[in-house]
Amino acid sequence: MRLYNQPHRFYCGIDLHARTMSLDILDQAGQVVLATTIPCEPRTFLDAIAPFRDDLVVCCECLFCWYWLADLCAKETIAFVLGHALYMRLIHGGKTKNDPLDAHKIAVLLRGGMIPQAYVYPKGMRETRDLLRRRNYLVHKRAETITHLQNTNSQYNLPPFGKKLGYAANRAELQVAQRFADPSVKKTAEIDLALLDHYDTLIGDVELYLTRTARVDDPQAFARLQSIPGVGKVLALVLLYEIHEIGRFQSAGQFLSYARLVRCCHESAGKKQTTGGKRQKIGNAHLRWAFGEAACLFLRASPRAKQWKQRQQKKRGEGKALAILAAKLGRAVYHLLRKGLVFDEDRFWGSKAAAAPASR
């Protein structure tokens, strides 16, 4: 957890919403110099903080509508801090809670150097990252549609589909009119098939756009990530845009923690406590998914990985073995991007180093 502890003349805490924002500005002595609620309009915000622009720092909690505020502060050269929502539990733990009070607590934490920082993803690649996450949403909806079609088939105890419905050619051979007798059930199946065709078109278009964009944003990192056996274009895209700048992690351990690849240790009075609840959600869920998928695909592409998994599975079980492999791949990706290297499986299994120098 990184805390923001830079001294400033004024500290502005903001409880930000989609249409309104509550501001609370403190001076160096901790006295409130401004407490107001205004509309979420750039000009109104700049006018409100105008008397305190000299050495001002602005902070809000990380939620869905922080983009415009961060971009505005960057444009106006105002120091901006993004508070980590799950770490800032003090705001939600008070007896009384409202927008002005939350803004004041943020300002107090900011002045005291106790604001846990979240990463302010800069404008430019941030928009592409959000499009990539939207692509994952479409893939999930496509999978739900396939499952619904299979469940409809099972509801009437019909023979299972002979081929996977994920492929358009197999769906073209599906005789809906002959398989389902009821007209309403036929219509339901036709809707699902039409949705699947539409999802395939949308996903194909967005993947082509993302691939072209990645080759412009960071072509070398995009190619290095694909040097890992089993990692294709989609996983390389997720890793590239979710990590963004590997230099923001000072060590491989910090990166693994951010990717949810390590378990947190909680101890009190000499007793270890189990990790659960919101603690498990701290980190990047998209990276955790990507490394889990990469571990499974790595096992398919690497005979040495299969042998390693068999040995680990006898000692720790299959789930633990896959988790260890995902963490090993996470450490490899860290060194791969940090040092500008390509993946070398010999060094991956032979030592702590996880990559080899790139060929020129």
Q: Tens digit of pLDDT for each residue in 44-62?
A: 999 999 999 999 999 999 9
Q: Tens digit of pLDDT for each residue in 148-186?
A: 999 999 999 998 888 899 998 888 878 888 889 899 999
Q: Tens digit of pLDDT for each residue in 192-205?
A: 999 999 999 999 99
Q: Tens digit of pLDDT for each residue in 273-316?
A: 665 556 677 889 999 999 999 999 999 999 999 999 999 999 99
Average pLDDT, the chain: 90
Q: Sorting pLDDT into bands at 50, 70 and 90, what band is 91?
A: low
For residue 329, CA distances in Å to 63, 231, 358 come to 30, 11, 18
Residue 348 token pair: 């991956």
pLDDT at 244 over 80: yes
pLDDT at 360 over 70: no
Which sign, positive or negative, has the C-alpha torsion 197, 198, 201, 207? negative
C-beta of residue 317 within 8 angstroms of C-beta of residue 234:
no
C-beta of residue 81 within 8 angstroms of C-beta of residue 113:
no
**One CATH from 2.40.160.50, 3.30.750.24, 3.30.300.10, 3.30.420.40 for 3-116:** 3.30.420.40
The domain locations on the chain are 3-116, 125-217, 251-356
In the predicted model, what is the mean pLDDT of residues 237-255? 94
For residue 6, CA distances in Å to 3, 58, 229, 304 come to 9, 12, 43, 49
